[in-house]
Amino acid sequence: MRVRVVSPLAPTSVLTGTAVPVVFTVSAGSAARLGAYPADLRVDAATANRRYARLGNDLDFRVAVRRDVAVVQWQPSDNLGPIAVQRGQTVTETASFTSSVALTNVDIRRALGEDASERGVRVAVVSPATLPSVAANTPISVTFTLAARAGTPVGSYPSYLYVVGTEPGGPRAILHYGLHFAVRVTAVAAAIHWQPANGLGTLTVQRGQTITETATFTSDLALSNAEIVRDLSGAGNHGVVVTVLTPVAPATIPVGAPVTVNFTISAAPGARIAGYPAALYVKASPFGGPAVALHYGLHFKIDVDQVPATTVSWNNGGNYVTFPAIARGQIVTETATFTTSADVANASLRLVHGQRLKGVRVTVAPLAGATIAANAPTTVNVIIDATAMPAKQPAGFVSDDIFLIAQPASTATPRLLHYGLHFTGAAQ
């Protein structure tokens, strides 16, 4: 039996606190006696007077020489390479092994560097962690998990699984070979997919107006603590507001589950007329880690426009009417209708007091209500009273203009609206 150091054979110098890997081989000749042999490695170093002295403690171990050495073979390979794990995620993997000889009292264990453990990397054997026995050449499936904390530094962390067991007639020992892999920790890469896929384009809102919009999204990862956040890029300083309606989002969102988002866009009556880029984002916790804003967002542009002037249309577009002649001594009521291009409040009518005849009085009846809906026909009653017209008063004409005084949503007070109704009538 022989133990041979492969490297380093004779390092010229070693700095204090520096770790020096040592590779050595253990071999036994075909005629070596069966049994257990003590062995050790030690470090010798030259002192100031060039005499060699032993440093520190020896590395003691025993070499068991046996007739048959168990060999463990892993499938799909004894080296799985890097396995990607996102921060805050737990990944489950499966492999299998066979042993060249029957084993008893079997454990499947994992090896992970102390540095990786301190940084939040975890490798755990789920099943089976222990087995009372394993038959020779019988595949054993092993399930294990790899995890990283939300704050684990991005990087690659070597690890491996190995089998500990007892061969027939031998001691309990670590068996060759292990299952090697690396835990490759990456940043969270959850992606949000919105519909419409290309964003909402340009959304036009008038001063004093509020519009409601709807969109949906799905996530590539399961999310918790989800909420919708908005990016207005300064529009909020100019009277533009985006409000996400409740419920904002379910607290937990499964992979691929559509989530509907309703939101409003409002512009104050004095909002600055301009275009404002805006977006909605999903902020959530993938894998139970901290909440972060996830790509991609729902982008759109808010175009704030001047409110079109509210106008009045009379008698289906005819803003001029001639009433039938009235005889002196009579009172008649004539009618006209109008519609407004927008909803108005605090509505009333006003006569401009045009041409009059002596003894003929013209008035307009109050409206039935102070609120008028857009495009709703409203009747106006015009009263012409000729009861006081003198007998010697020559026949003639009366004329006037009726205007609507009202308050559209875009104004703070009532005002005279265009257009008015011009009317004439004869009194004889």
56 and 79 housed in the same domain:
no
423 and 316 housed in the same domain:
yes
The two beta strands, 155-166 and 172-186, are antiparallel
Domain boundary among 260, 276, 305: 305
DSSP state of 315: G
3-class DSSP assignment, residue 198: coil
- Structure tokens that stand for 14 in this block: 């070693």
Domain count, the chain: 4
60 and 137 housed in the same domain:
no
- Structure tokens that stand for 43 in this block: 């470090």
Residue-by-residue pLDDT tens, the chain, 428 positions: 566 665 565 666 666 667 777 888 887 776 677 778 888 888 777 665 666 667 778 888 888 776 656 689 999 988 999 999 888 788 999 999 999 999 999 999 999 988 899 999 999 999 999 999 999 999 999 999 999 887 789 899 999 999 999 988 778 889 988 999 999 998 776 688 999 887 899 999 988 889 999 999 998 888 888 889 888 876 666 889 999 987 666 678 888 899 999 999 999 888 888 889 999 988 888 766 677 778 788 999 999 987 788 889 998 777 889 999 999 999 999 999 999 999 999 999 999 877 778 899 999 999 999 999 999 999 999 999 999 999 888 999 999 999 999 998 777 789 999 889 999 999 98
> Considering only CA atoms, which of 311, 333, 342 is closest in space to residue 417?
311
| Beta-carbon count within 10 A of 146 CB | 25
| Beta-carbon count within 10 A of 127 CB | 11
CATH number at 399 reads 2.60.40.10
Do 177 and 78 contact (CB within 8 A), yes or no? yes
Do 248 and 198 contact (CB within 8 A), yes or no? no
Residue carrying the six token digits 């000729």: 386
Residue carrying the six token digits 């275009």: 275
d(CA 240, CA 209): 10
156 and 178 housed in the same domain:
yes
Q: What b/e sequence results for 382-391 when a residue is b if at least 16 CB atoms lie within 10 Å of its CB, and e otherwise?
A: bebbbeebee
**What pLDDT does residue 263 have?**
94
Domain boundary among 276, 305, 334: 305
d(CA 120, CA 136): 37
d(CA 186, CA 252): 23
User: Which amino acid is located at 55 in the chain?
Assistant: L
| Beta-carbon count within 10 A of 86 CB | 22
3-class DSSP assignment, residue 173: strand
**What pLDDT does residue 280 have?**
92
The two beta strands, 415-427 and 320-326, are parallel
Please state, in angstroms and as integers, the Cα–Cα distance from residue 287 to each residue in 125, 148, 225, 227, 331, following that order: 20, 10, 11, 16, 84
Domain span at 137: 72-186
203 and 218 housed in the same domain:
yes
207 and 157 housed in the same domain:
no
In DSSP notation, 280-310 reads: EEEEEEETT---EEEEEEEEEEEEEEPPPPP
Domain boundary among 252, 274, 305: 305
259 and 340 housed in the same domain:
no
Do 284 and 252 contact (CB within 8 A), yes or no? no
User: Which amino acid is located at 36 in the chain?
Assistant: A
169 and 76 housed in the same domain:
yes
103 and 174 housed in the same domain:
yes
390 and 420 housed in the same domain:
yes
Phi and psi angles of residue 305, each rounded to the nearest 5 degrees, phi first: -115, 160
The two beta strands, 292-305 and 201-206, are parallel
Do 425 and 326 contact (CB within 8 A), yes or no? yes
161 and 182 housed in the same domain:
yes
78 and 182 housed in the same domain:
yes
**Residue count of the chain:** 428
